[in-house]
Amino acid sequence: MKNILVLHTGGTISMQEDTQSGAVAPSLDHPLMDFTEAFKNLAYITTKQPFHLPSPHIRPAEMLTLKNLIEAECKQQSFNGVVITHGTDTLEETAYFLDLTLNIHIPIVITGAMRSSNEIGSDGLYNFISAVRVACCNEAKDKGVLVVLNDEIHAAKNVTKTHASNVSTFQSPQFGPIGLVTKREILFHYKPLYREKYDIEQISKRVALLKAYAGMEADVLDAIDDKKYDGVVIEALGQGNLPPCCLPGLKRLRKANIPIIVVSRCFKGVAQDVYDYQGGGKQLKEMGVIFSNGLNGQKARIKLLIALTKTTNQNKLSQIFQDPVCENEN
């Protein structure tokens, strides 16, 4: 029998649909708060509810609360795994935040639901049971924070919500799931090669996230400096290019020592300093723009928020945003 800590935070998995209007809203009592029946031969469940929020209400402050709570609970009691239920809209951001900041070797599993608890075809209970099963699995250790929904196990770094309402919304573009949940087994077929951890005690910086578009102008970037943001992530075009009208705004941000992280707005691929023209990636890198290796915009923002608690040095930030590469490429 395993000892599993369950943290309920809210989200669709805790909500109910109004049978008359069809509106979905938080229920007074979490429907899974006292659910232990399916685990009587698998695990002892300790349940806590640190907050009860729809996921659009989750901020980095709540993510830090979860991180601190998990560490405190694991110091007080010997747990074999942790399961977090969470709304799906920002689930991937909380998962990646915890992946970067928790230095715990037991399985940490996050799950949610696309349909509320009383809807036909509700997926919450099934996903919850699957998540607890994964948290009880010895092979789930040391694989980073895992996201488990719809019979699939995904790495926090790669997973993203791809559909507004479909139950198979969580996918890992280019990489796929790292494991599967079957009726009888938990099957892992690979593990992430690289892990990084940052010991943080507070989140106080402000980082904006912008999406590039045809004809984007510099005044959008000027607002980042005017409003005293500490950093900005830009989902750039293609492999990491921006319209030339943006250049004055980028120069202003760099003059103010505001770090600029560039990712691709494309669903797949990575941003690189390839194109050599006005606004092209090569020119952006020469200006001091930092290219992130494969993260999407929302996760690059989470990483920059965390990185800025450790350093504001441009060179160090650049190193933080680059994954290790094969030795023969250097």
- Residues that are catalytic: 12
> For residues 113 and 38, is the Cβ–Cβ distance under 8 A?
no
Q: Which CA distances in Å does 57 have to 91, 169, 212, 242?
A: 11, 20, 25, 31
Residue positions counted in the chain = 330
The rounded distance, in Å, linking the Cα atoms of 204 and 225 is 17
> For residues 230 and 207, is the Cβ–Cβ distance under 8 A?
yes
Identify each DSSP E strand in the chain by its residue range: 2-8, 15-17, 24-26, 43-48, 81-85, 108-111, 146-149, 152-155, 160-161, 170-171, 179-181, 186-188, 207-211, 231-236, 260-264, 290-291
Pairing mode, strands 2-8 and 43-48: parallel
Cβ neighbours of 290 (radius 10 Å) = 24
